[in-house]
């Protein structure tokens, strides 16, 4: 069934509607996702005009210095979701507190709509590589209900969006709702956002072996100098003719695997090199997209599925192994010990 919606192209409306049961998650399909796609288009325009990337003179809640583009992206998303009545609460990596998304007081007698969500987002992932004009992105997770805290991510995180700002503006959208098969698609976003976006791939799936070319992205590489297991894992990739594809930005490194059909991203942690990736704002949305594309996403400290751990604190961090299932399994065994180590 095609959803009639002036805010989104007919092809995208039909594809999104096919990933959700008829009459369920209507606001998500017709309002929340199109608004966020429009927002990605707006952030892309802002970045193209922000020729001077500089510190904004402020810091986020984690003490990291904010760039002017961080603030602009944050404000753009906040303003966009304030126009979506179905978004009850929102939080971001820059401001990790779940706050009401709508401006002003809630009208008396009309509390939160029956279908409502909380949006958790990293407005601009890759601040450290934006000055040299490398690809950066936006990471968004959409949770069913008014909070992401103490909720099972595997069932309550119903959608993820990765906005990619490079030579082109694209986005990956993952949907996993009860009653329908998981979906992951890639779209190209034009000047008018969701209205004229193009579906690049209706179904994004990682390839099955044998692989023509294999890729690896070793993040937190300094750990290899102190951790023999990580060094051996990297040597394994090199000795087995994997191609190195790592730029230091989580979004482009993960997207490379989704585009090429193969890849493994490894970001281990140790006492001297603490985890920096935020579960809520980065890991959960990435994990959903990877799983919907047929891959895996694990916590390298325990070898457990990222989406199996409920969030107890908005500021939780962890490492990440994600990508092609076979390589994720090998990396897990290599780092934690096992028959392939």
CA dihedral 254, 336, 232, 262 (to 10 degrees): -30
Length of the chain measured in residues: 341
What's the burial of 136, exposed, middle or buried (CB within 10 Å: 0-12/13-18/19+)? buried
Asked which of 140, 175, 201 is the last residue of a domain, the reply is 201
CATH classification of the domain holding 228? 3.40.190.80
Give pLDDT, residue 104: 64
Considering the domain architecture, whether residues 14 and 132 belong to the same structural domain is answered as yes
Residue listed under structure tokens 């690809």: 135
Considering the domain architecture, whether residues 255 and 136 belong to the same structural domain is answered as no
Considering the domain architecture, whether residues 39 and 135 belong to the same structural domain is answered as yes
Give pLDDT, residue 3: 37
* 298 in Cβ contact with 286 (< 8 Å): no
**DSSP string of 175-242, one letter each residue:** E--TTS--EEEEEEEETTEEEEEEEEESS--PPPSSPSS-EEEE-SGGGGGT-HHHHHHHHHHHHTTP
Give pLDDT, residue 230: 96
Considering the domain architecture, whether residues 196 and 84 belong to the same structural domain is answered as yes
Query: Is residue 329 classed as helix, strand or coil in its secondary structure?
Result: helix
CATH classification of the domain holding 147? 3.30.540.10
Q: What is the mean pLDDT of the chain?
A: 91
Whether residue 341 has pLDDT greater than 60? no
* 5 in Cβ contact with 13 (< 8 Å): yes
Give pLDDT, residue 56: 53
Asked which of 146, 175, 201 is the last residue of a domain, the reply is 201
In a domain, 285, yes or no: yes
Considering the domain architecture, whether residues 159 and 28 belong to the same structural domain is answered as yes
Considering the domain architecture, whether residues 172 and 24 belong to the same structural domain is answered as yes
* 228 in Cβ contact with 290 (< 8 Å): no
In a domain, 210, yes or no: no
Higher pLDDT: 15 or 50? It is: 15
Q: What average pLDDT does the segment 226-250 reach?
A: 96
Give pLDDT, residue 334: 97
- The C-alpha atoms of residue 303 and residue 312 are separated, in whole angstroms, by 19
Give pLDDT, residue 109: 46
Could you give the percent of the chain with pLDDT greater than 70? 91
Query: Confidence class of residue 249 from pLDDT cuts 50, 70 and 90?
Result: very high
Give pLDDT, residue 172: 98
| Nearest by Cα to 125 from 78, 61, 74, 167 | 74
In a domain, 206, yes or no: no
Q: pLDDT tens across 117-153, in order?
A: 999 999 999 988 988 999 999 999 999 999 999 999 9
In a domain, 219, yes or no: yes
Considering the domain architecture, whether residues 80 and 119 belong to the same structural domain is answered as yes
Whether residue 158 has pLDDT greater than 90? yes
| Nearest by Cα to 80 from 7, 6, 157, 17 | 7
Q: pLDDT tens across 53-111, in order?
A: 766 555 555 556 678 889 899 999 999 999 999 999 999 999 999 999 987 644 444 55
Structure tokens at 43: 């952030």
Query: Confidence class of residue 27 from pLDDT cuts 50, 70 and 90?
Result: very high
* 84 in Cβ contact with 101 (< 8 Å): yes
In a domain, 151, yes or no: yes
Q: Backbone phi, then psi, for 90, in 5-degree steps?
A: -155, 150
Considering the domain architecture, whether residues 193 and 312 belong to the same structural domain is answered as no
Give pLDDT, residue 111: 59
Angle made by CA atoms 26, 22, 176, in degrees to the nearest 5: 75
Count: domains in the chain: 2
Q: What is the pTM of this model?
A: 0.93
Considering the domain architecture, whether residues 46 and 177 belong to the same structural domain is answered as yes
Whether residue 224 has pLDDT greater than 70? yes
Considering the domain architecture, whether residues 175 and 302 belong to the same structural domain is answered as no
Domain region containing 250:
215-336
- The C-alpha atoms of residue 79 and residue 112 are separated, in whole angstroms, by 18
Whether residue 188 has pLDDT greater than 90? yes
Query: Confidence class of residue 2 from pLDDT cuts 50, 70 and 90?
Result: very low
Considering the domain architecture, whether residues 159 and 266 belong to the same structural domain is answered as no
Whether residue 19 has pLDDT greater than 60? yes
Could you give the percent of the chain with pLDDT greater than 90? 77
Q: pLDDT tens across 270-287, in order?
A: 888 888 999 999 999 999
Q: What average pLDDT does the segment 202-225 reach?
A: 95
Q: At what angle do helices 325-336 and 228-239 cross, to 10 degrees?
A: 140
C-alpha distances in Å from residue 180, one per residue of 19, 177, 183: 6, 6, 9
Considering the domain architecture, whether residues 33 and 73 belong to the same structural domain is answered as yes
């Amino acid at each position: 069934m095609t959803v009639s919606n002036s805010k989104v192209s007919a092809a995208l409306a039909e594809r999104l509607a096919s990933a959700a049961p008829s009459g369920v998650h209507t606001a998500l399909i017709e309002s929340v996702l199109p608004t966020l796609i429009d927002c990605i288009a707006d952030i892309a325009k802002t970045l193209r005009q922000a020729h001077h990337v500089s510190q904004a003179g402020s810091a986020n809640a984690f003490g990291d210095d904010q760039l002017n583009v961080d603030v602009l992206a944050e404000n753009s998303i906040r303003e966009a979701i304030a126009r979506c009545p179905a978004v009850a609460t929102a939080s971001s990596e820059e401001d990790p507190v779940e706050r009401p998304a709508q401006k002003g007081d809630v009208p008396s007698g009309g509390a939160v709509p029956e279908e409502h969500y909380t949006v958790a987002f990293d407005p601009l992932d890759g601040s450290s590589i934006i000055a040299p004009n490398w690809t950066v992105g936006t990471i968004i997770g959409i949770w069913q209900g008014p909070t992401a805290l103490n909720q099972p991510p595997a069932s309550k995180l119903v959608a993820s969006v990765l906005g990619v700002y490079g030579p082109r503006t694209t986005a990956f959208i993952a949907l996993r709702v009860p009653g329908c098969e998981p979906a992951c698609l890639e779209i190209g976003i034009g000047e008018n956002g969701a209205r004229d976006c193009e579906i690049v791939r209706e179904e994004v799936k990682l390839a099955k072996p044998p692989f023509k070319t294999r890729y690896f992205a070793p993040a937190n590489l300094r750990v290899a100098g102190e951790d023999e297991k990580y060094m051996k894992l990297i040597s394994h990739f090199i000795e087995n003719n994997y191609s190195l594809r790592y730029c230091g930005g989580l979004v482009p490194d993960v997207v490379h695997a989704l585009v090429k059909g193969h890849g493994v991203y490894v970001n281990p942690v140790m006492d001297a090199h603490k985890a920096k990736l935020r579960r809520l704002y980065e890991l959960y949305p990435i994990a959903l997209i990877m799983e919907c594309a047929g891959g895996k996403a694990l916590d390298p400290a325990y070898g457990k599925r990222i989406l199996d751990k409920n969030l107890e604190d908005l500021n939780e961090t962890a490492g990440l192994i994600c990508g092609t299932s076979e390589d994720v399994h090998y990396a897990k065994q290599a780092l934690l010990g096992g028959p392939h180590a």
